[in-house]
Chains A and B, each alone.
Chain A
Amino acid sequence: MMIMWIIIVFAASLLLWGIFSYNRLITARNDVRNAWSQIDVQLKRRYDLIPNLVAAVKGYMDHERQILEQVILARSRALTAQRISEKAVTEARLSREIKGLFAAMESYPVFKANQNVLRLQDELVSTENRIAFSRQLYNDLVANYMTLLQVFPDVVIASLFGFTGAEYFSASTTERRPLPAAAIQQ
């Protein structure tokens, strides 16, 4: 009689733990997906801003046409990248090209007097920062999810219900958090 009760209690607590564990995994996975779409929002913002900036400066930077073309090329490559690791590489490349464009724009004082260009520049700098922050958040959440997947008791539930891992959004080692243009002037 006693043994039966013990078995029932044990089974019930096992089931409860299983439920909590599954829910935790689901929450973590959804957080990862949400954070990825947040990055997408910021990347899309950057894709939309770049043509505006290029159009605004094109009239003046005739000698620097090569830089402008490189920016546009990097942008179209980043747009078409599909897998996360590929996207990381193309986005890092685009960030570098934009930084090069800002550096070239420093030697044209006419842009400092043009509010439209200044505004676009600040928006792009802000977008770079936002991409960096949302990437940080995404990676933190991926780490959280992977830990939950691999920790001992939960790994049973995970493999039982077919949870797969997620990829980190890691850039190349030379890419750092982009400095705002104002800091470069100092």
Chain B
Amino acid sequence: MPLTVIDIERRKRWRIGLLYTVLLSLYLFTALALYGLIFLVVLPFRYAGESSGSSPYMPLVVIILGALAIASIHFWISASTVLGSVVRTLKAGKPDREDVVHQRLLNVMQEVRLFTNIQKMECLVIPSLSFNALAATDLKGNAVIAVTEGLISRLSRPQLEAVIAHEVYHVISGDCLETTIATSLFGVYASLMDQLRSWSEDDRETLYQPNFFAFFALLNLSNLLSMFISREREYRADAAAVRMTRNPIALAEALHLISRNWNGGGMISSGLEMLCITSPVDSRDESEGWLADLLSTHPPMEKRIRTILRYAHRTYDDFAAIQDRTDEAAESGMGSGGSYYALDNKRQWQGPFSLVQLAAVPWLTPRTWLSGADGRPAFRAADSEFISGALSLRMGSPSGYMCPNCSQPLQKTEYEGTQVHQCVSCGGTLVDNDKIPRIIARREKICSGRVKALAGAVLRDNQRAMTISKVTGRDIRKKSGNRCQKCGNVMFRTFYSGAYLIEIDRCNICRITWFDIDELEMLQCLIENKITGTLADRAEG
């Protein structure tokens, strides 16, 4: 990378100086307006009473110095604390070393630190199912790159490297410092605007509030600032990412994936949009033309992908066709070949599984009966070398918790790349609350037909129960009495959420959740396939 540190420093200072000047002139303008007001209104009364001995310029100088001081303090404080406030707004947290996917992110970050020779970069994970990544730096030289859970769960390693390389280029080229400072100075008004909008029910009423005008003016100022922060930097960052990773297709695929999914609008506040890889407010940037170039912060996604594909000498249509085909294949849940069925504890045949999926089935024991779909007689799992090998590899270590149903120790196992505690006899799972969004975001486990049907049935039953209890005022659901394994208090039996009516037991003190057998899979299935139990489903089933 031919960028030297000295060039970067020089570029940074010029543009930051400009930002500071804008802020200063803002304060100066306000102060002078105030002074003019005072001069016109108050001073005539003073003249009537006494003779003014001091020079009329003295107050002016005081005001200018005051504005300078306030502007400097505002600038310094917001530029030094912006990282903390960004992290807090997004509820971003450090990656979990024991989680396979997070560890991969940490590895990529370490590689990037070696490549750019910058050590003061930290990566954080935003616990949201949206697909976005952002970078922020402050005046002290600390840099933060935050990626959402949804994104790291769905990107392959080359795609993740490309996205991180894009963000890192923003950091080392100084773009990030400009946008972070602009965000911290003026982004607070954007969030206030959001809040104002959400408070007032009637839009017309809002327009006539005087505050609204002031904030509207300031927001447009920040829009003009985003004109100052051009769309060109995104193209440059894409080009730099391709140069760093030598893999244009990976970046194109990552951008394509991001453009097809929820980008965090509504969760990532609109003040932060300048820092992200793509605007959280969907489809606002798709327009072209000089006005759009002026006011929006990101170029249209398709144009970015086309530019990148030009490096790979591919046409956009070929690329899009391949992506759509792979997306379809992933959605329809085609596992990798082979089909086996396994007899579970309730004497039901489960499946079809491929060998790999079979090895990952949690309730599989050496005594489980298996059957291949090709008509061979059933055999025990112990008879298959492959399965018994996989089972012996998989014997987790016992954790300190007991199963509330079976009173047997729970085993520590991996589910969707993260650590959970599972009971080998009843299949129930104990999960920490902050690991649940990760499990929902990841799709390694294929949602089988059995689980889908079960989830639909459970959902309908629970909806019926909810309706009945609402109508009659009586609660016909049974109360639970499971005790929390950590603190011993009784856990609450509730539904996971109003839309996803799967019953779970939750201890809010220890922040853990107990899922009985299949409940976690059903929940994943419901959310991934967006099953909500409408009339149409009922007619089918």
Contacts and interface: CB of A to CB of B under 8 A. Distances in A.
Interface stretch (B387-395, B422-430, B512-520): B387-395
B375 to A, nearest CB: 23
A177 B161 CA distance: 14
Interface string A122-160: 110110011001101100000000000000000000000
Given A60-B389, A180-B158, A119 B103 contact: yes
Nearest to B111: A129
Interface string A16-45: 000000000000000000000010001000
Interface string B480-504: 0000000000000000000000000
Contacts of A133: 111, 114-115
B107 A126 contact: yes
B100 A118 contact: yes
Interface string B355-375: 110011000000000000000
A29 B247 CA distance: 33
A113 B356 contact: yes
B455 to A, nearest CB: 24
B104 interface: yes
Interface in B89-129: 100, 103-104, 107-108, 110-111, 114-115, 117
A107 interface: no
A150 B367 CA distance: 74
Contacts of A113: 356, 359-360, 390, 393-394
Contacts of A109: 336, 355-356
A116 B111 CA distance: 21
Interface string A149-186: 00000000000000000000000000001001011001
B157 interface: yes
A25 B189 CA distance: 51
A80 interface: no
B107 A123 contact: yes
A109 B247 CA distance: 27
Interface residues of B, number: 28
Nearest to A183: B158
B311 interface: no
B156 interface: yes
Interface centre among B103, B107, B114, B390 (most CB of A within 10 A): B114
Chain A interface main SS type? helix
A134 B336 CA distance: 38
B389 A59 contact: yes
B390 A125 contact: no
A116 B103 CA distance: 12
B111 A126 contact: yes
Nearest to A59: B389
B110 A119 contact: no
Given A129-B111, A137-B115, A114 B390 contact: yes
A110 B389 contact: yes
Interface residues of A, number: 28
A66 interface: no
A126 B414 contact: no
A65 interface: no
A182 B114 contact: no
A112 interface: yes
B246 interface: yes
Interface string A38-65: 1000100000000000000001100000
B157 A125 contact: yes
B414 A110 contact: no
B379 interface: no
Interface string A79-105: 000000000000000000000000000
Nearest to A60: B389
A126 B359 contact: no
A173 B394 CA distance: 42
Nearest to A116: B393
Nearest to A115: B414
Contacts of B110: 126, 130
Contacts of A137: 114-115, 117
Contact of A122 (B107, B161, B389): B107
The winner among A59, A113, A123 for most chain B CB atoms within 10 A is A113
B393 A114 contact: yes
Nearest to B107: A126
A115 B390 CA distance: 11
A180 B159 CA distance: 11
Contacts of B213: none
A136 B115 CA distance: 8
A129 B390 CA distance: 30
Given A113-B394, A180-B157, A182-B156, 4 more contacts: A109-B336, A130-B110, A136-B115, A180-B158
10 contacts: A38-B114, A109-B355, A109-B356, A113-B393, A114-B390, A114-B393, A122-B157, A126-B110, A137-B115, A180-B157
